[in-house]
Amino acid sequence: MANFDEFAIQSNQIITFTSAVTGKQVSFPAFLTNFSDDYSVAWSGETLFGRVDPIKHYQSTSRRISAAFDVLAKDENTALKNFFNFSTLVQMLYPVYSDPVGQNVKSRTIRAAPLMRIKYTNYIRSEANPHGLLGCIGGFNFSPKFDAGHILTQDKEMVPLVYNLSFVFEPLHEVPLGHNQSGQFLSGKFPYNQGVPAADERQPASDPTGE
Look at residue 4 in the predicted model and tell me its pLDDT: 64
Which residues sit opposite 71 in a β-bridge?
30, 163
In a domain, 199, yes or no: no
In a domain, 50, yes or no: no
- How far is residue 104 from each of residues 95, 97, 110, measured CA to CA in Å? 19, 14, 15
CB-count exposure of residue 15 (10 Å: 0-12, 13-18, 19+)? buried
In a domain, 204, yes or no: no
What does pTM read for this prediction? 0.82
Tell me the C-alpha distance between 135 and 148, whole Å. Answer: 33
In a domain, 125, yes or no: yes
Which residues sit opposite 170 in a β-bridge?
136
Q: Taking residues 64-85, report their average pLDDT.
A: 92
In a domain, 74, yes or no: yes
In a domain, 144, yes or no: yes
Give 132-151 pLDDT, tens digit per residue: 999 999 999 999 999 999 99
In a domain, 210, yes or no: no
Residue 200 DSSP code: G
Domain that holds residue 65: 4-44+59-193
In a domain, 159, yes or no: yes
User: How many domains does the chain fold into?
Assistant: 1
Give 147-198 pLDDT, tens digit per residue: 999 999 888 999 999 999 999 999 999 989 999 999 899 887 899 988 766 5
Give 118-137 pLDDT, tens digit per residue: 999 999 999 889 999 999 99
> Higher-confidence residue: 186 or 31?
186
